[in-house]
Amino acid sequence: MSTANNNERPVRVCIVDDDRGYRHSLMKIFEDDDSIRIYNDYESGTAFLKEMKSPFKPDVCLIDVVLKDMSGIDCAKVIKEMKPDIHLVIMTAYPNDQSFMEAQKLGADYVEKGPRIESFLTRIVKSRKESRNEKIISLKSDNLDLKNYELIYQLSEAKENLSTLTKMQLRIVKLKQKGKTSKEIAKILEINEGTVRTHFSRAMRRLDIPNFLDYIVDQNEDSDE
């Protein structure tokens, strides 16, 4: 008897978010893709964890940071202990360094809710179709500074779009890639710090890189003042 290749079946996705409308909007992202199957959606961490005690096991779990009965991070920690092979994706409308660090510790992806989340989530889920053990975005790094690691990964994915940047935008992006803060770049290029931020923000939009990266890259700037 032949055994079907595990990669031939649809990627099983679960959504945990207390906003019913948002859960449905995420479900619509994947409804026309035969390679992805929404197993179920849950309005609370408690409801999801209760079902996780059964043999039921999704491939990918999308979890909002803020749930009505517990934090999404706490929910993700329990899932990781129960079924460590599940690919966790932490979603948030308000990215911050604390939840980002917690997601990193869990080996989870960290995604900002917003207009770009559709393509971002599709890429993450599709990566599970290609390889059950390889995430499209890794938040782990022993050699790179946390604040610019995600930017480096995203820029490597957006190389074909670098030609659309102005010379100033490209210079600033390359300095950011090296871990420089806006304040440091302003001194190097002898321009206003606000101008650096404006050029960088426009470059990120041209490269279609999620907005939360602006925050992650500059999260330690206040400590430099």
- The rounded distance, in Å, linking the Cα atoms of 128 and 215 is 27
Return the pLDDT at 131.
47
Fold match, 6-130 / 146-219: no
123-157 pLDDT, tens digit each:
777 666 554 433 333 333 333 344 444 555 555 55
- The rounded distance, in Å, linking the Cα atoms of 13 and 11 is 6
Lowest mean pLDDT, pick from 60-64, 114-118, 209-213: 209-213
With 0-12 / 13-18 / 19 or more C-beta atoms within 10 angstroms meaning exposed / middle / buried, residue 189 is: middle
Domain 6-130 fold: Rossmann fold (3.40.50)
- The rounded distance, in Å, linking the Cα atoms of 220 and 155 is 20
Mean pLDDT, the chain, rounded, equals: 76
Domain ranges of the chain: 6-130, 146-219
CATH of 146-219, one of 3.40.50.880, 3.20.20.150, 2.40.30.260, 1.10.10.10: 1.10.10.10
- The rounded distance, in Å, linking the Cα atoms of 117 and 24 is 14
Q: What is the mean pLDDT of residues 65-69?
A: 93
If DSSP codes are grouped into helix, strand and coil, which group holds residue 10? coil
- 85 pLDDT above the threshold of 80: yes
- The rounded distance, in Å, linking the Cα atoms of 154 and 175 is 15
- The rounded distance, in Å, linking the Cα atoms of 111 and 121 is 8
Q: How confident is the model at residue 75 (pLDDT cuts 50, 70, 90)?
A: very high
Q: What is the mean pLDDT of residues 199-204?
A: 84
Question: Whole-structure pTM over 0.95, yes or no?
Answer: no
122-147 b/e (C-beta count within 10 Å ≥ 16 → b): eebbebbbeeeeebbbebeeeeeebb
Closest CA to 91 of 129, 57, 117, 119: 117
Here the tokens at position 88 are 């966790």
